[in-house]
């Protein structure tokens, strides 16, 4: 598949275009490149389809949000991609709300003899991910229970519309007097009805079946985000197009690392001897254990910032950081011998707190921490 153009660019709009502007821009392009005006011009047809696809996404609040967040990656998720999902029938069924009139998925222009393809519903699943999976991105197999076309279903033409799926009228439109066609309300525009179906199949000839779907989760996703796998939802009635599979991301709590956007935080505990003399300690990261050096004379509350040890920025460049918060651990019990040593240390001049500019406490650190 060739590189897709940005949907806003296709419609000649900026990212903060309003719904009205999006509709207006699409209307203009749809008229310009409409097949009725550009017969046999495949370049125009491509532009027509490209604009329709852009509008399909940007006019739908949920899809628009996903696109704004993930770009084209969010629209495909799996291997298939959105690309092939939209044919002329879909585009003409979109015109009902763009050009008004023609009620319920009406198309205009006449001459296209095929009935409408009915779209299946979207399927939603939740997916729990660990921080490690989020850090690297992950390939997942999801078992879903979805509606598929049952074997052995036979169809017959809808009697109301004689199999055309449409009911034709002549109406005044901004293009002049035109035939407008609206979807047949008996067959929802499919032009078909179920003739025979096996037991277990519903009124649309669909049956539930377990299926395994593979999806690539990009690195850096967050709790609550939604990814869409085009065409992997429920099957469309009458062999129509399938809906989408919507994958809702849930982040598992990590026992050690706390997430803050692309940054991570970790509480490290060291005993005060290590804090005084310095020591190397092991800490967990999203990519396994790492060793860090505690400098001699480290204060409790010191924050070490490990550049690039956080999470990747979704749709962006680089990685966040890992903040290691040093906590000096105070023993709750000591032996007699230890007490003797400690009492001796207490008298030492070196053990009297005298923080200098770098070693100040909580309020000082809050100011400096995220600089």
Shortest CB 204 distance to Zn ion, Å: 14
Segment interacting with Zn ion (CB under 5 A) among 1-9, 154-162, 317-325, 333-341: 154-162
Shortest CB 193 distance to Zn ion, Å: 8
Shortest CB 168 distance to Zn ion, Å: 12
Neighbouring residues of 146: CB distance < 8 A, sequence distance ≥ 6: 123, 208, 209, 211, 233, 234, 235
Q: What share of residues in the chain are helix, strand, coil (percent, to 5)?
A: 30, 30, 40
In angstroms, the CA 58 to CA 133 distance is 30
Residues 166-195 within binding reach of Zn ion (CB under 5 A): 184, 186-187
Shortest CB 100 distance to Zn ion, Å: 23
Shortest CB 105 distance to Zn ion, Å: 12
Per the listing, tokens 């400098």 go with 295
* CB-based burial label for 151 (10 Å; 0-12, 13-18, 19+): exposed
**Contact track, Zn ion, 289-328, x by CB under 5 A:** ----------------------------------------
Q: Pick the closer one to Zn ion by CB: 161 or 275.
A: 161
Q: Pick the closer one to Zn ion by CB: 187 or 227.
A: 187
- Joined together, the tokens standing for residue 11 give 């419609």
Neighbouring residues of 290: CB distance < 8 A, sequence distance ≥ 6: 282, 283, 284, 306, 309
Q: Pick the closer one to Zn ion by CB: 76 or 181.
A: 181
Q: Pick the closer one to Zn ion by CB: 57 or 183.
A: 183
Handedness of CA 169, 171, 175, 176 (dihedral sign): positive
- In angstroms, the Cα distances linking 224 to 3, 62, 249 are 28, 13, 5
In angstroms, the CA 214 to CA 217 distance is 10
| Contact flag: residue 104 with Zn ion (CB under 5 A) | no
Q: What DSSP assignment string belongs to 151-187? A: TT-EEEE-TTTTTSSEEEEEEEETTEEEEEEEE-TTT
Q: Pick the closer one to Zn ion by CB: 158 or 207.
A: 158
- Please count the residues of this chain forming the interface with Zn ion, following the rule CB under 5 A: 6
Give the count of alpha carbons within 13 A of 96, CB side only: 15
| Contact flag: residue 160 with Zn ion (CB under 5 A) | yes
Segment interacting with Zn ion (CB under 5 A) among 87-95, 153-161, 170-178, 317-325: 153-161
Shortest CB 197 distance to Zn ion, Å: 18
Segment interacting with Zn ion (CB under 5 A) among 151-159, 217-225, 273-281, 313-321: 151-159
| Contact flag: residue 158 with Zn ion (CB under 5 A) | yes
Q: Pick the closer one to Zn ion by CB: 85 or 237.
A: 237
Residues that bind Zn ion (CB under 5 A): 158, 160-161, 184, 186-187
């Amino acid at each position: 598949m060739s590189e897709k153009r940005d949907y806003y660019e296709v419609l000649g709009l900026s990212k903060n275009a309003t719904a009205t502007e999006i509709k207006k821009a699409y209307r203009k392009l749809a008229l310009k490149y409409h097949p009725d005006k550009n017969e046999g011009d495949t370049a125009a047809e491509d532009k027509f389809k490209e604009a329709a696809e852009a509008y399909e996404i940007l006019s739908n609040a949920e899809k628009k949000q996903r696109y704004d967040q993930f770009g084209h990656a969010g629209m495909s998720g799996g291997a298939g991609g959105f690309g092939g999902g939209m044919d002329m029938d879909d585009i003409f069924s979109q015109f009902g709300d763009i050009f008004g009139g023609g009620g319920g998925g009406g198309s205009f222009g006449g001459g296209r003899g095929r009935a409408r393809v009915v779209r299946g519903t979207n399927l939603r699943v939740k997916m729990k991910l660990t921080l490690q999976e989020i850090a690297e991105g992950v390939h997942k197999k999801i078992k879903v229970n979805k509606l598929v076309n049952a074997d052995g279903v036979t169809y017959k033409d809808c009697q109301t519309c004689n199999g055309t799926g449409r009911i034709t009228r002549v109406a005044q439109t901004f293009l002049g007097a035109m035939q407008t066609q609206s979807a047949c309300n008996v067959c929802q525009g499919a032009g078909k009805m179920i003739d025979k179906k096996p037991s277990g199949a519903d009124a649309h000839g669909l049956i539930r079946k377990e299926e395994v779907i593979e999806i690539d989760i990009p690195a850096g996703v967050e709790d609550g985000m939604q990814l869409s796998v085009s065409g992997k939802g429920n099957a469309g009635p009458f062999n129509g197009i399938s809906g989408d599979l919507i994958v809702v991301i849930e982040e598992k709590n990590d026992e050690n690392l706390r997430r803050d956007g692309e940054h991570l935080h970790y509480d490290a505990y060291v005993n005060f001897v290590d804090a005084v003399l310095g020591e190397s300690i092991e800490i967990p990261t999203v990519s396994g254990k790492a060793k860090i050096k505690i400098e001699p004379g480290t204060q409790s509350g010191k924050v070490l910032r490990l550049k690039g040890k956080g999470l990747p920025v979704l749709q962006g460049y680089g990685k966040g950081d890992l903040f290691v918060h040093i906590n000096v651990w105070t023993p709750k019990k000591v032996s007699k011998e230890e007490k003797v040593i400690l009492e001796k240390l207490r008298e030492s001049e070196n053990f009297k707190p005298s923080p200098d500019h770098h070693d100040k406490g909580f309020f000082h650190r809050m100011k400096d921490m995220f600089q």
